[in-house]
Amino acid sequence: LFLLIEATRQLRGESCSQVPGARLAVAHGNGGMLGSRHTGGTIILAGESPQPGSARGLPLEGDSP
């Protein structure tokens, strides 16, 4: 669960160890109650592109103020 939370924080720009410009995140874990050697899960997350003029978005080239 920690990896999923960290991946989400990276995409939101809220991580303590932020990767600049993170747009994609991959979280992978293995193990668990039912078979610690034969189970695994992977999730790929993508953040939304910030809209021009938003708090994290930059104006597009050619946009007038």
The string of pLDDT tens digits covering residues 26-65 is 999 887 666 566 778 899 999 876 555 554 555 555 655 5
Tell me the pTM.
Answer: 0.62
Burial label, 25 (beta-carbon count in 10 A; 0-12, 13-18, 19+): buried
| Residue 13 predicted with pLDDT over 70 | yes
Residues 6+ apart with CB under 8 A from 11: 22, 23, 25, 45, 46, 47
- Residue 53: per-residue pLDDT: 54
Determine contact, residues 2/17, Cβ cutoff 8 Å. no
- Residue 12: per-residue pLDDT: 93
Determine contact, residues 9/19, Cβ cutoff 8 Å. no
